[in-house]
Amino acid sequence: MNHRTPLLLSILALTACRHQPRPGGAILPDTLRLEAGDVVFRRCTGLASTLVVRQDTGGIFSHVGIVVDSAGVPMIVHAVPGEPDYQGDPDRVKMSRPAEFYARGYAQCGAVCRPCNRKAGYHAARKAMEVYRRGTLFDHDYDGRDTTRMYCTELIVDAYRTAGIDLVGDERRDAGLPLMSTRCIMPSQVFNSPHLQQPIMFNP
């Protein structure tokens, strides 16, 4: 174990969902129709999710993504570590089917928030798709000043900012990572944004 390993493990805990999906389908209700620009939340399974929620005062979710339109099919773009699609797959911005994002092995509860400004939501979704298509890697430094890499909440906030909507303002919170001082956007800040409508909540 080298001197960076404890630090990297600590960083991976933030917004990580490192379990593999189990049989049993998804927790997303069949009647819920997702639209481009919807901001989707999940509380992941496992210790990593618990650590995130404990750091995020008042928060109940550990991961967030945005719905995009992929050739007429709703998909979810999200920046996530620890969910490789194949051996050697780097931590990166991914595009997942809603059933994958909300698979029972990944998600124990979820919520969907629709943007108050639907036009801005469509614009933000297109921006998120651009970020995905350029192969953007996950930002393990949680540096909001560098958009060449992204962590999950940063992706959502940046996409909406390009649409003229500032979801969370300038507030950044202490992530409380061992061996590293960093301030970042927490899931509850996005969830409680006044620019998002009342959430639709669900669990298994």
Residues 53-86 have pLDDT tens digits of: 877 878 899 999 999 999 999 999 999 988 898 9
Q: How far apart are CA 134 and CA 132, in angstroms?
A: 6
Task: Between 107 and 179, name the one with better pLDDT.
Answer: 107
Report all structural domains of the chain as residue ranges with CATH numbers, in order of start. Answer: 5-202 (3.90.1720.10)
Residue 34 CA: distances (Å) to CA of 31, 45, 177: 10, 23, 34
**pLDDT tens per residue, range 155-204:** 999 999 999 999 998 877 766 555 455 778 999 999 999 999 999 999 97
**DSSP annotation of 195:** T
Higher-scoring residue by pLDDT: 95, 147: 95
> What pLDDT is recorded for position 180?
53
Residue 50 to residue 62: CA distance in whole angstroms: 8
pLDDT computed for residue 114 by the predictor: 98
- Residue 174 confidence (pLDDT): 65
At 4-49, the pLDDT tens digits run: 333 333 444 444 565 444 446 899 999 999 999 999 999 987 766 7
C-alpha span between 52 and 13 (Å, rounded): 7
In angstroms, the CA 61 to CA 7 distance is 23
- Give residue 58's pLDDT: 80
153 in Cβ contact with 189 (< 8 Å): yes
CA distance 87 to 7: 23
pLDDT at 8 (0 to 100): 38
- pLDDT at residue number 9: 35
